[in-house]
Structure 1
Amino acid sequence: MGFLDLKGVEKFYGKLRAIKGVDLTIEKGEFIVFVGPSGCGKSTLLRMIAGLETINGGKLMLDGKDITDAPSSQRDLAMVFQSYALYPHMTVEENMSFALRLAKVAPDVIKDKVTKAADKLNLTSYLQRTPKALSGGQRQRVAIGRAIVRQPKVFLFDEPLSNLDAALRGQTRVEIAKLHRELGATTIYVTHDQVEAMTLADRVVVLRDGMIEQVGTPLELYDSPANRFVAQFIGMPQMNVLPASMFPKAGGAHEIGVRPEHLTIVAANEGQLRGTVELIEALGNETLIHVNLGSAMIIVRQYERTRSQLGEQVGVQFDSVHLHRFDKDGKAIASLNQFSGVAA
C-alpha cells in the first residue's frame, strides 16, 4: 500500500462514465504529474482526490485511511487552482493565513507559518499588498503559499501556470521544483504542458478517455512508450509514425515509429527514405525539417544549422535500434533489432 491509493475509482455524469476504474499508487514525497489531452479526465481525477467531485465507485485511501466519502475539509489536502482563487479585498498575509484563522490556530503560530512561507516564496515585501497590486506570477505564489501554511499531507496543483506568459511559466516551474525538494511533500500536478511534466515529475501518469494509458518516469515514457498514443503524446515534436508497409522487415508490426532526433538528412541518393523538403523551422538551438515522403510527412530534428533548401530532394537515414513497433491496436511490441532498412 502506498501513501495515497486509488482503487478502481470511477466517476459518472449521468450515463457518461468519465473516470473508468483508475488504479494508482502514489508514494510519500513523490511528485506525480497527470497529463493528457483536453477532456481526458485529469482535472476531474484531481478534483475527486480533493473532495470537490463525488467518487461514484472504488476507494480512495490516504495514509492508510479511507477518505472516499470524507468532505474536502477533512482530507488534509491543499489545492492550488489555475485561477489563483484569492480574496481581492484581503492582503497577501490575510489570504495566506485565512484557512488557519478559520481553524482558530493561535495567532503567533499563524504569524510564524506565514512568515516562513513568504520567505520561501520571496513574498515578504508584499505581505501588506492586495492581489490587484501583484503580478500574475506573484499571485500564483500567494496561492501556493496559502497551501504551504496548511502543511497538508498532499499538495494538489490544477494547471497552476497556464495563466502565465512563457517566461514566467519557466521561472515559476523552477520555483515549484525547488519548493518540492525543500518541503519533501507529496504532490499531484495536472498539466497539458509536456515540458512541465518532463521536468517536474518523479512519475508521469498519461490519461486518455478517463483511463490510465501508462505510468512511469518521464524518460521511461519517452524511451519505452506502451502504445502509439503515449509515443506521440510525449515528445515535441511528436514521434513520426509510418505504415509498416514501408518496411521490408516489419516483423508483424502495423506501424513503425521513430523520433525526429533519431533521423538524419543525407544526400538524395543515400539513406533509407527519400523525400522533398517542405518546411524548415530554424529555431536557433535546433532545426526542424519537414520532409514529404509522398505517402507520409515526417519531421527531422537536427542540432545544427541546415544547408537544405525548400523543395530539395533529400535522403533520410536512421538507425534501426531507435525504431518502435506498434500492432494494429496501437500497442507497442518487441524490439527492432531485426530491422535492416526501408523500402525505397
Structure 2
Amino acid sequence: MSSVEVQVGGCYLARSSDPDTVKEAACGGVVTELLRHALREDLVDVVVCVERGADALDGRPIVVDDPAEVPSGSYHCAPTQLARLVAELHREDPTLRVAVTCRPCDARTLDRLAERDLVNPDRVYRIGLNCGGTFEPRVVLEILEEHGVDPLDVEREEVVKGHLVIELRDGEEISVSIDELEEQDSGRRENCRRCDENIPERADLACGNWGVPDDLQGEWTFVEVKTEDGRDLLAGALDAGTMEVQEAPGKSVQIRAKIDEVMRKMARSWREKTLDEDWLTEAIEALDRCIKCRSCRQVCPVCASCEEGCWSFAGRESVTPTPVWHAHIAQCVALYCVECGACETACPAEIPLTRIYSVLRERLPDVVERLAEPAEE
C-alpha cells in the first residue's frame, strides 16, 4: 500500500509503473494506464480515445473494450470530438459505462449533451487533458516540408513551454515557437487561440505536462484530482501497483498556475482582436457564403447528436441562405457552441464559424433582431 493519500483537490506527479508504457506513451503513460486500469477492474465497459492513424498527425477516434488494445500517444493535430462518440454509444445503451479522454471543449460538449439527455453523466469517467490549442495538420506538414522530413518519420508531437515539439523516429527533434507561427498567421486553430480554459475544470482528473519539473519532463504527468470519481480511479491504479504517484511540489503547482494564467491572457487578447464591435457586420455578411452543404452540422458534436429537426426547417432544397435561417442559427447553434472548431475546419466556404458563433452569443439580442429583418430590395 502506498503512503501517498490521493485526495480531491490534490495535485500529484504520476507515471505508469510499466517501463514499456513509460517509453511508448506520452508523459509517463498516465492516461494510458488509467484507461487500462478502468477496463481491468471492470469500472467501465469501454474506453473512448484516439489512436494513431496513417501517421502521427492522423489521430482517429476508437472504442476499446480490451485493456491490451488501449493506444498511447498525444495528438495535437486531431480535432476529433470524442464526446459525440459517447453520445452515439449512449443512444444505443444509456447504461454503458464509458471512460473518455477529453480536452476542455470535449468536457464542455459532454455537459451540453447531458443537458439534452443525450449522455448519461453518471456513467462516464472524464480523463481530462490540458490543452493549449490544436493545429491544422497542414501547419505541421508545412513545418516538416521546410525541414525536409517525411510525416511517416514523425514519432510524436507535443506542446512544451510555448513550442510545438516534433520528435522524429531517429531521436531528433524539431522545435518551433508557437508565438512566431501565429505572428505569421499560422499556428494553432483560431478558436483555440481564443479559448481561455486550458485545464479541463469539468473533468474527473486533469492531466498534463505543465508544472512537471524539468528533470522529469516527458516521463511524468502532473495530475489534479477534480472529483471523487477521479480520486478513486487514481488511487485504485496506485493501490493496484500499476501507477507511481507522489505529491506535486509546491513550486510545480505554482508553475502550472502561472502557465495557465499566461495562456488565459493570450486568449483574452485574441478575443479582443477578433471579436470587436466592427466585426459584427462582417460576421453576418460572412454567413452569406453558406452553401448549405451541411458539413458543419455533420461534424458538430452537439448539433449532430440533436434530433430536433433544425435542418428540415432550413429547407435543404433552397441553396440560398435565408435571414430566418440565420436567425435560427443565432438562437440555437450559437448558444450551444462549445468552440471546438470542428465546423470551421470542415467548411468548404471557409466561413469563420466559431468566431461568428462567439459574436452571436455575446451580442445575441441585437443579432437576432438584425437577422430577422427583411432583406432590402
Relative to the length of structure 1, the TM-score reads 0.30
More strand by share: 1
More helix by share: 2
Relative to the length of structure 2, the TM-score reads 0.27
Which structure would you say has the larger Rg?
1
